[in-house]
Structure 1
């Protein structure tokens, strides 16, 4: 996968039922208010256990803190997917903490 032209990520992060026959691909920007609002619907669908979610990052240039947050998620996912998905949920519910590059603060708090 590529984030804003930065190579290094080759596959999307996947969450949910590993045996699901349906995969939803989400193109997300951690600073996007619409992406944040969509999380309730995504959670409802995932909680049914019949699908999984493939996350692809699409940080917009106007969201200056979205790219660092996406990189933070990817580093976490490589080390501990469960922690990365906790960050994913927290980043969308507490978007104000991403301002000024505080994505790391979300992890340790």
Structure 2
């Protein structure tokens, strides 16, 4: 029941999420409504989450801002993951940080999610070069401490907010830890627009 889904979201106490500098955003930077997404490039539900958010941005271009935070379920950079899950996710997340730095995040993000079934250890590098970053610059950025630190900072924010799986969302600080139908998002956005 849609109404119950929406009520369940707003029954919680909202939290403040402060994304680290260098995090990627879409939509209107000054919007009243902020949707923060914790995502993993190798997670199939995150691909669906990306499609959903794209629909919302097209539907509410002035009303919402989306903040994309990486939460790779990959033990190579996530301290709470104890078994192999998504082996390329940390590298793909760093690729996103590098694409953001060169102003090409949206192309990178769409390209990686589109190719999700065939991702490999080379996909982050290929994804960056496809957006026009030179191979040398892409490799240097992927290996950089700066990219690693940004992803670690984003993961820590997820851990602090008890993110267990991906995708997870916050709308103006209210947590949503499943993929709700579009109609539920419409209702939440309409409600927050009135506040």
TM-score by length of 1: 0.81
Work out the CA distance in 1 between the residues paired with 2:64 and 2:43. 24
The answer for unaligned runs of 5 or more in structure 2 is 1-18, 75-84, 131-195
Greater C-alpha Rg: 2
Q: How many residues align?
A: 99
RMSD: 1.7
Other structure's SS at 2:34 match: strand
Partner of 1:57: 70
CA contact (8 A) 1:69 1:103 kept: yes
Q: Tell whether 2:53 aligns with 1:45.
A: no
- The Cα of 1:97 is off from its aligned counterpart by 4.3
Distance 1:102 1:86 in 2: 14
Cα distance in 1 between the residues matched to 2:129 and 2:112 = 13
| TM-score, with length taken from structure 2 | 0.47
- 1:1-109 maps to which residues of 2 (within 5 A)? 10-11=20-21, 12-47=23-58, 48-49=60-61, 50-61=63-74, 62-80=85-103, 83-109=104-130
